[in-house]
Amino acid sequence: MRIIRGIWKSRRINPPSNLPVRPTTDIAKEALFNVLENTLDFETLHVLDLFAGTGSISFEFASRGVQQVTAIEQNFRCVEFIRKTTHDLNMQQLTCIRTDVFRFIKSAHQQYHLIFADPPYDLPQLQTIPDMIFQHNLLHPNGIFILEHPKTYDFTAHKYFARQREYGKVNFSFFERKI
């Protein structure tokens, strides 16, 4: 795993092999960030990374200079890896919280400019995540919510669906509530 661009560009990060994760591929991550860089001013963003896993997406946002990244992960070993890497690289804008994502969504009081969620593909509640984000008002007006999911899911009928990008087996659905 590597950080593609920014302050820590080309930095290899080696998570322990026993973490229960499915990291976003470098190809999909690079394509996603190319889209985002042409859309957003990273220096002003507050980002929420749900189901953070190895922290790959959070590290990429931090490397590219976002103002604040909050990574949410329940697995203790994943959280320890993210915190250690954050400390080793002195990523002061990245905070990792160990909690259940759904509990966090229900109790969060902050809004985020960009929310990224990469849940386990077999998660029974995967289909409900977009509704929860909007019901709990976590997305800043004109913000973007991105859900990574397998091809078997179709969110095109969702009220806030904006577009979908496909990179191999990785699918990103974008949701926006324009004001």
- Which CATH number is 30's domain given? 3.40.50.150
**Is 28 within 8 Å of 168 (Cβ atoms)?**
yes
Q: Extract the tokens encoding 145.
A: 């919510």
**For residue 100, is it within any domain?**
yes
pTM for the full model? 0.94
CA distance 142 to 8: 29
How sure is the predictor about 1, in pLDDT bands with cuts at 50, 70 and 90? confident
**For residue 36, is it within any domain?**
yes
**For residue 7, is it within any domain?**
no
The per-residue pLDDT for 81 is 95
In terms of DSSP H, where are the helices of 38-128?
56-63, 76-89, 101-107
Read off the pLDDT of residues 41-65 as tens digits, 9 standing for 90 and up. Answer: 999 999 999 999 999 999 999 999 9
**For residue 14, is it within any domain?**
no
**For residue 138, is it within any domain?**
yes
The per-residue pLDDT for 168 is 84
Mean local confidence (pLDDT), 140-152: 94
**For residue 129, is it within any domain?**
yes
The per-residue pLDDT for 169 is 85
| Domain region containing 145 | 26-176
Element (DSSP H or E) covering residue 153: none
- State the total domains in the chain: 1
**For residue 9, is it within any domain?**
no
**For residue 2, is it within any domain?**
no
